[in-house]
Structure 1
């Protein structure tokens, strides 16, 4: 029972953070009207240099961030299976479109080539993992589908962990987002993936132990 409370609390926290970050990303729609409120000057330069690529990522990725958490509620999956499938297709489409946009934008990263490599690697892993998760669902290999979707959303959730780390960087003396992005390009998503791997491994061991009793 306590484990269930922890899991539900973690899902709720994830959904709240995702909603807040996705809402914050609405400021990028202002760019379409030449409103640059709250956008780092170097990031603005990236958008102006590669507007289609950058805005494809920035406007579409929040959809995946917002939809994702609700796919992990077992009660919702069981009660509304059709909604789960529709939302899942929306999530996959958003990940693939935003991932391609991110990959195309990576060479112009405001933090330079180190940041560009990290964000490009994230985009490749994000696209590949999401495609593999979708293929597993099509083959009705739902155990593999759920596992891969965990990893996919760990990378989607980089949008949240990145923004949570920005205040830490500023407190440590970084002058701007662009100054931090060479390390944010890695710390925003690799720890998420590691946590999912550790959690999934522990869960598998627990299930095997219960089955052996």
Structure 2
């Protein structure tokens, strides 16, 4: 997937000319992103590997009767979401894209399949929110947009519309990492608006509202940042600066 940060001047149906590989220090965010993703997966995934519902972050029987489809959908969402995040890191790695385009293409296909399955799983689990209707709407919309943006990006690359492909996949990736951002926003909002929170959501309306708000903030902020990234005008560098 084309995720470089320049704007194509060539016709949209023609691939951009092959450019020299970008040095890792010119993309300093890729290593921290990989580390954050690894930490997130290591701390989240083990709860679901044993397929024990009691180990889930949201116990299956905690909020009413969630039905027999809930836990399978949750596990599907977690497992395919883990693959999605790992594939996204590979897609965003400029060195891999420049030096191993075949791996880049195959990891892109994996990303598309994982995004669709993750979105479907999220759409099912979103119907059983622990923080009320607001969270249901936020997570449902997130799931729909993730699948839609990913499929639009896949269609664009199949039609060799590389600029459109890049834009849709940047948006898709921003939504994919909203689950990671939600850990940050959830804590920040709860600490800000419910400083006396003792861990019991039912006894703290403020914490409940903060957690529901984080479901919106985590992906809306990511998407706004992605749009800024796509619309910004990169600074032109001189030949001497490019040679450094």
* TM-score, L = length of structure 2: 0.74
- CA distance in 1: counterparts of 2:158 and 2:179, whole angstroms: 28
State the secondary structure of the residue aligned to 1:23.
Answer: helix
Q: Which residue of 1 aligns with 2:175?
A: 155
2:234 counterpart of 1:206: yes
Q: Which residue of 1 aligns with 2:226?
A: 196
2:42 counterpart of 1:23: yes
State the secondary structure of the residue aligned to 2:130.
Answer: coil
State the secondary structure of the residue aligned to 1:206.
Answer: coil
Structure 1 residues 25 and 198, CA gap change in structure 2 (3 angstroms):
same
User: CA contact under 8 A between 1:111 and 1:182: conserved in structure 2?
Assistant: yes
- CA distance in 2: counterparts of 1:142 and 1:125, whole angstroms: 20
State the secondary structure of the residue aligned to 2:29.
Answer: helix
2:124 counterpart of 1:112: no
Which one has more relative contact order, counting CA pairs under 8 Å at least 6 apart? 2
- Could you tell me how far 1:66 is from its partner in structure 2? 1.6
- CA distance in 1: counterparts of 2:215 and 2:188, whole angstroms: 15
State the secondary structure of the residue aligned to 1:60.
Answer: helix
- Could you tell me how far 1:105 is from its partner in structure 2? 1.5
State the secondary structure of the residue aligned to 1:125.
Answer: helix
- CA distance in 1: counterparts of 2:142 and 2:132, whole angstroms: 16
Name stretches of at least 5 consecutive residues in structure 2 with no aligned partner: 1-22, 202-206, 238-244
- CA distance in 2: counterparts of 1:74 and 1:65, whole angstroms: 16
Q: CA RMSD in A?
A: 2.6
In terms of fraction of residues, the more helix-rich structure is: 1
User: Radius of gyration: which is bigger?
Assistant: 2
